[in-house]
Chain A
Amino acid sequence: MNIMKKVGIALVAPVAALLAAMAITSAVIIAVGGPPVDFWRVMLSWPEADEIVNITNQASMLYLSGLAAAIGFRMNLFNIGVEGQYRVASYVGAIVAGTAIGPGLFTAGLAIVAAMVTGAVWAAIPALLKVTRGVSEVISTIMLNAIAGFLVGYLLLNYGQEIGNDRRTTPLEADTTFTGWTPFEPADGAIWTLTILAVLAGAAFWFVINRTRFGFDLRATGMNESAAVASGVNVKRMVVISMALSGAVAGLVWLPELFHESRTASFYSGSQFQTGLGFAGIAVALLGRNQPVGIAFGAVLFAFLSVQAGDLEFEHVDVSKDIVLVAQGVIVLTIVIAYEVVSRWRERLEQRQIQRALQRPGTPEEAVAS
């Protein structure tokens, strides 16, 4: 098969899934009495410059979150705890970044490491519970999400600076923040400098999973745990390490936003912190089939939908913004189904090709030789 055809076949599933998702979402809108045509006109319009910047920034955070979830999924570990991991990590990262204990770059670096370590530790708790006590990571990570919320709230309340009704961590010094890139007018905003973390993490993910011994052990454990054990993989150790890695990447999720230079100030506070990225990351990882490129596609798509939904109100379309959450959920379902259908269809296609090859001169016997 030539490359064009291969790429074409690879695109069939996502395109078909998106079309199906659009149809289903439209049906939902009609059912609740909304105007589907207006909805899609707004949603599918080409984004403004400031929206493109916004989509890029959001996508970088979703991507990190998707990667974090995917590390666990590759090993059949259901880390539902990215949400709590990045919350605790963001808080600790913000505190360290606000200390200004050294030159700006040094402080920033230290804060990034602190966030990753915090995420790793928070994720290691359910891993240790799993390998020592047999507690399902699904349950324990969900509970730790709740605990993370309370814990950070408590710490903020007791140790945070008061600002209006809210509490916050010490704002970052100006030299600890980064200007970013302004591809359009300055008014359109900047692409955050630390979106680069997403690119780096994606490359590292691909390399570690596909090229290293550790990645092989991880995939082997995910594919067949008992065979991995027989091959010498220490599964308990792998569970702890990969959960910790997953948590470390989760620790990066909110940092692009924290470190960007803003007119007000950069800090962690209840209103400043963006929640929900951890849960969205699970869907993004599913969309991307736990592959780095696929996750990027999923992250951009989700960011695009969220940002475009902001226009609905502005354009007076009488559809709730929350319908986008429905659309996102529907997309995850249709993608999963579409991949399954297409893989069967592709198998049949390949068989037909063999059949055609056989009907050319030559006995079947020759083709059988393998």
Chain B
Amino acid sequence: MATLVKGADPSTAPDAVVVRGVTKRFPGVVANHDVDITIRRGTVHALIGENGAGKSTLMKILYGVQRADEGSITVNQTDANFSSPTDAIKAGIGMVFQHFMLADNLTVLENVVLGAEGRHGIGDKARAEIRRLSDAYGFNLDPDQLVEQLGVGQRQRVEILKVLYRGAEIIILDEPTAVLVPQEVDALFDNLRGLRESGHTILFISHKLDEVLAIADDITVMRRGTTVGEAKPGTVTKHQLAEMMVGSELPSPETEESTVTTQVLLDVADLTLVDDRGRHLLKDIDLTIHKGEVLGIAGVEGNGQAELVESVMGMRKATGKVTLADRNLAGRDTRERREAGIGFIPEDRHRHGLLLDATLWENRVLGHQTRSPSSKGMLIDQRAARADTDRIIAAFDVRTPSRETHARALSGGNQQKLIVGREMSGDPVLLIAAHPTRGVDVGAQAAIWDHIKTARRNGLAVLLISADLDELIGLSDRITVILRGELVGEFDPRTVTPQQLGAAMTGGRDEQAGEETQ
């Protein structure tokens, strides 16, 4: 039933994109070989596959960022071996990358207009057009706000807006939902359906099979650089898809028995952060995490999660008390906090987690500069750091030609695996994990969950922030909801439903919402 599409009848319309025999090589790795894929006009087409399967590479070829070594691509019946995104945009293709490409120090307007000044100028006409698009799709963006001040979810909307602003008909979205909470995913999908209705063709990559089944008209599966199969949402199950992708069963994040102890590990009291305009980013946050406990924080992006995490890490100067294992962290800088045993998986891996132009082993050193095995005294211990990088590569299944590869050359999911492996090294006592499985495939997700569970059994305390409610409910011992910088309610993950959480996260009144903690 889901195979039939409304709007422009795609069964008779000519295909929007046809890819035949595309091959692309990188030093030490073949990212794509013999890729065949057909995308019907006016459909939503999902591309799935394990980390490093070559999905992003294929999309970059389609968008002219990279050139195929072999093979042919046609867009709307015309040959389209683009040599630059400019050509692709002319042919009506737009792309939102897995890792955003916005200039932090520019406003939304400037980012959108940059490189497309010819469309509506750079002044009020452009501003009006941005407002119109933003309203039409419910993006809720202020053209004059600095991108620096936006959360990941909002940044993504800026990226999509950029593409629409340039008049794209074929829109490529690389893992658009990885950063969104369910309500936002629903909103995005409404937008995508609207776009499909108006004749746009959408091509999107996702690791979340439920979403793929909910929105896609066609599904293509990639594995090890090539397309291995096609499926229709109506005739295939999640489990079958997972098996096509990685050849394994679907994991579940459910924790077994509780390992919570009575020993308080992290105690945060009256944490308050005010921005330069006097607004509260965080207001009187009180929370405790015990040894062996996972505290989940649910919330819509931009409600203070990033600020909370960065305050606990000492990257922002908030007022209030932070105590780690009875040690007052006030006045301690980020390095001292890390040395005290805090591991940190940041929400934006490219901004806060990696040196893209450094080798993997140097990235292993990052954040551990002052500790063994990364350093010895004042010197970097290259040999030990290299050896430990090999350990992480093996333990977390990071797909890479070698530890000397630059982080930039890794696929998004593999970069994430490296970061998780690094932050769980050196026996941290507290792990601050913002979206720890963002962008990793189902198999790797299960592996990361296992690592967290094992560490938790050994007494690790975890502050978990996730947009994935299943992950949050499955891993957490307690869940608290953050809304506009305040903790507004606590829930028991054994009894809470995603709907209840969703209502609390958006501030909706739900009679079943848990007892207020404030």
Chain A: residues with CB nearer than 8 A to chain B? 211-217, 219-220, 223-224, 226-234, 347, 350-351, 354-355, 358, 364-365, 367-370
Chain A residues whose C-beta falls within 8 Å of the C-beta of B69 in the assembled complex? 351, 355
Chain A residues whose C-beta falls within 8 Å of the C-beta of B25 in the assembled complex? 351, 354-355, 358
Chain A residues whose C-beta falls within 8 Å of the C-beta of B224 in the assembled complex? 365, 368-369
Q: Is B315 in the interface zone, CB < 8 Å from A?
A: yes
Count of B residues near A, CB < 8 Å? 45
11 contacts between A and B (CB under 8 A): A216-B380, A224-B354, A224-B355, A227-B355, A229-B334, A230-B367, A232-B367, A232-B370, A233-B335, A368-B224, A370-B401
When chains A and B are docked, how far (Å) is the Cα of A310 from the Cα of B315? 56
Chain B residues whose C-beta falls within 8 Å of the C-beta of A351 in the assembled complex? 25-27, 69
When chains A and B are docked, how far (Å) is the Cα of A230 from the Cα of B339? 13
Closest chain B CB from A215 CB (angstroms): 8
When chains A and B are docked, how far (Å) is the Cα of A368 from the Cα of B28? 9
In the bound complex, do residue A230 and residue B27 qualify as a contact, i.e. CB atoms below 8 Å apart? no
Chain A residues whose C-beta falls within 8 Å of the C-beta of B399 in the assembled complex? 370
Q: A230-B315, A234-B335 are in contact. Are A354 and B27 (CB under 8 A)?
A: yes
When chains A and B are docked, how far (Å) is the Cα of A303 from the Cα of B432? 54
In the bound complex, do residue B338 and residue A232 qualify as a contact, i.e. CB atoms below 8 Å apart? yes
In the bound complex, do residue B379 and residue A354 qualify as a contact, i.e. CB atoms below 8 Å apart? no
When chains A and B are docked, how far (Å) is the Cα of A230 from the Cα of B315? 7
Closest chain A CB from B6 CB (angstroms): 39
Chain A residues whose C-beta falls within 8 Å of the C-beta of B26 in the assembled complex? 351
Closest chain B CB from A196 CB (angstroms): 25
> Inter-chain contact count A-B, CB under 8 Å?
105
When chains A and B are docked, how far (Å) is the Cα of A211 from the Cα of B385? 12
Q: Is B108 in the interface zone, CB < 8 Å from A?
A: no
Chain A residues whose C-beta falls within 8 Å of the C-beta of B357 in the assembled complex? 223
Q: A354-B27, A368-B30 are in contact. Are A230 and B369 (CB under 8 A)?
A: no
Interchain CB contact (< 8 A) of B380 among A212, A224, A368 = A212
In the bound complex, do residue A227 and residue B30 qualify as a contact, i.e. CB atoms below 8 Å apart? no
Chain B: residues with CB nearer than 8 A to chain A? 25-30, 33-34, 52, 69, 224-225, 313, 315, 333-339, 344, 346, 351-358, 362, 365-367, 369-370, 375, 378-380, 382, 399-401
In the bound complex, do residue B315 and residue A370 qualify as a contact, i.e. CB atoms below 8 Å apart? no
Closest chain B CB from A312 CB (angstroms): 43
In the bound complex, do residue A213 and residue B379 qualify as a contact, i.e. CB atoms below 8 Å apart? yes
Q: A216-B380, A351-B69, A355-B69 are in contact. Are A229 and B315 (CB under 8 A)?
A: yes
Chain A residues whose C-beta falls within 8 Å of the C-beta of B375 in the assembled complex? 213
Closest chain B CB from A294 CB (angstroms): 17
In the bound complex, do residue B33 and residue A368 qualify as a contact, i.e. CB atoms below 8 Å apart? yes
In the bound complex, do residue A213 and residue B335 qualify as a contact, i.e. CB atoms below 8 Å apart? no
When chains A and B are docked, how far (Å) is the Cα of A354 from the Cα of B26? 8
In the bound complex, do residue B378 and residue A230 qualify as a contact, i.e. CB atoms below 8 Å apart? no
In the bound complex, do residue A224 and residue B356 qualify as a contact, i.e. CB atoms below 8 Å apart? yes
When chains A and B are docked, how far (Å) is the Cα of A313 from the Cα of B249? 82
- Chain B residue at smallest Cβ distance from A369: B224
Q: A232-B367, A234-B333, A355-B25 are in contact. Are A223 and B355 (CB under 8 A)?
A: yes
Chain B residues whose C-beta falls within 8 Å of the C-beta of A217 in the assembled complex? 369
Chain B residues whose C-beta falls within 8 Å of the C-beta of A347 in the assembled complex? 27
- Chain B residue at smallest Cβ distance from A351: B25
Question: Which residue, of B315, B336, B355, has the highest number of chain A Cβ atoms within 10 A?
Answer: B355
